[in-house]
Structure 1
Amino acid sequence: MGKLPLLLLSMLSASGVALGTDYAELPGGAFRSAIRYEENAGNLTVAPFSMMKKPVSNRQFLAFVDRNPQWRRGQAPALLAGGGYLSHWQAATELGAGVAADEAVAQVSWYAAAAYCKEQDARLPTWTEWEYAAAADGSRQDARHDATWRARWLNDGTANAMDAVADPTANAHGVSGLHGRVWEWTDDYASLLGSPDNRSQDDGDRLKFCGATALSFNDRENYAVLKRIALLSALQPSNTLGNLGFRCARSSR
């Protein structure tokens, strides 16, 4: 990701202000990832961790930029927040009538999301942590074998998402909104696909998901997960999207 942006991120971030956001404790354990890692074929052990029960909201992020003016729209360096950063807000410190305060914030760069979590004495979840949490439905910690439930993932990031309601039902871990209108950054999003994938081809079509890339996956039929990984891996950390937000996690001590 480069030393200069990380140095700037460190300089621009407030440190260690734990604000008591509501987190759920996840037990971890044996988990088979959709990604086929060379060293373990995707068979992983997830360490116990905690995760925000809901994604960071517009209200919460507004409070963050109020406390940290360097992360306001128009003041955050373009290197850390692209032109779309918080562009849906009416002003740098005003949501406006068309933006619901309690809905998941979007148009936030990876750098800004990481800075928010750092202020919370937290971090962005890893992909494996996010995938582990998202595998659960309302009663099962891993419902991915249920083809009908898994098929509903295809609507993630759209208005028809299964969690696209004001107060979605929490899953078996007590976490909600993982399958909502807004997708979420992960800490290691840039390493989800290796160098042979489409990102190494400077062809102007960074979001194209070529079939050969699926060779890196254990479950090629789970297109909902594949398209999420393809999208995230095509982004730069300063990019923003109208359906991309985040939540924070903490390692269990």
Structure 2
Amino acid sequence: MGDSSGDGLPADGEIPVHDVELRGFEIDATPVTNAQFARFVDSTGFVTDAERFASSAVFHLLVAAPASDITGPVAGTPWWIGVRGADWRHPGGRATSLAGIDDHPVVHVSWNDAAAYCDWAGRRLPTEAEWERAARGGLDRAAYPWGDDPIDGSDGVWRANVWQGAFPVRNTAEDGWIGTAPVRSFSPNGFGLWQAVGNVWEWCADRFDAAYYARSPLADPAGPDAGDERVLRGGSYLCHPSYCNRYRNSARSRNTPDSSMGNAGFRTVGLRA
């Protein structure tokens, strides 16, 4: 587990590379879709954090909302725009809907929302060790789920949904998508997981600590006992070498558990007997 290619960011804590032993587990082939999340909400009446806060972060090229809904750019990342009314049902703002994207990953869901879905479904979020094991698809120390070939490959084949062009002003969409893609786009890895990297960040169960790998246990590590942020894995459709090279098996990110944004979702694992 960890960054064996030397591409990690020190602040993300991808080192040291270390051995991990895991009990067997069962994980979703894809991130949870809009259709799946809608069934959860229809069944429970659940209200997401973005809906409670009445606002969420939308990438600037994907905003579709009245001017009165725009609260302005997010400090430090001006390509993210605060949009009132943006939520899982309206991923770009009030002028958008889920029409035609039932099979895309649900976004604008916080860690809290993902955990609530898991409780309803009788499942749980993966630990980041489980997530990384599954993302690797059986390939030891490879940078990506398919191996070490680059995203676009020498053969010109796109292998994941990431940014192409000049970030953050122009996305050429050479891979076919500007925002999210259907969850079964591109090809699955050796374990049958689709889009473990790219498309959307995926929440994991663990709290985040950049120094955790140096002290994590060998067997079934579950993250630190304390911390204000939760781990995200896999990168998203916004990843690009000039800005975010986190579309790798070992890449880590984090956010507070009540945070939501237009490029983060989750997949689940089965409860152990």
| TM-score clears 0.5 | yes
1:238 maps to which of 255, 258, 268:
258
Q: CA distance change for structure 1 residues 180 and 223 in 2, over 3 Å: closer, same or farther?
A: closer
Within 5 A, what are the aligned runs for 1:93-242? 95-97=97-99, 100-136=101-137, 140-142=138-140, 144=142, 146-149=147-150, 158=163, 160=175, 164=181, 167-168=184-185, 169-188=187-206, 190-194=207-211, 224-225=247-248, 228-229=251-252, 232-233=253-254, 235-242=255-262
* 8 Å Cα contact 2:48/2:110 also seen in 1: no
Q: How far apart are residue 95 of structure 1 and its match?
A: 4.2
Deviation per CA, 1:39-91: give whole Å up to 9, x if none: xx5211122111011111001111111112132578x6449x99654262599
Q: Any stretches of 5+ residues in structure 1 without a counterpart?
A: 1-31, 196-221
More helix by share: 1
Q: Secondary structure at the match of 2:26?
A: strand
Call closer, same or farther: CA 1:141–1:225 in 2, change over 3 Å.
closer
Q: Give the residue type in structure 2 aligned to 1:86.
A: W
1:79-128: CA deviations, max 9, x gaps? 9x996542625999x9443x501111111111001110111111111111
Supply the distance in 2 between the matched residues of 1:142 and 1:173 (Cα, whole angstroms). Answer: 13
Residues 5-24 of structure 1 mapped to structure 2, 5 A cutoff: none
1:247, distance to aligned residue in structure 2 (A): 0.7
Contact 2:49–2:260 at 8 Å: present in 1 too? Answer: no
Paired AA for residue 189 in structure 2? N
Partners of 1:240 and 1:119 lie apart in 2 by: 20
Number of aligned residues: 182
Aligned to 1:58: 34
| Aligned counterpart in structure 1 of residue 46 of structure 2, from 64, 70, 82 | 70
- Find the aligned partners of 1:67 and 1:91 in 2 and give their Cα distance: 24
Residue pair 2:88, 2:109 contacting (<8 A) in 1 also = yes
Where does residue 33 of structure 1 map in the other structure?
2
% identity of equivalent residues? 27
- Kept in 2, the 8 Å contact 1:106–1:245? The answer is yes
CA distance in 2, matches of 1:185, 1:52: 13
Counterpart residue number, 1:249: 269
- The structure whose residues are more often strand, as a share, is 2
C-alpha contact 1:184 1:246 (8 A) present in aligned 2: yes
Q: What do you get for the CA RMSD once the two structures are aligned?
A: 4.0
CA offsets per residue over residues 106-165 of structure 1, 9 Å max, x none?
Answer: 1111100111011111111111111111112xxx54460643247879965546499955
Of residues 161-170 and 237-246 in structure 1, the stretch that sits farther from structure 2 once superposed is 161-170
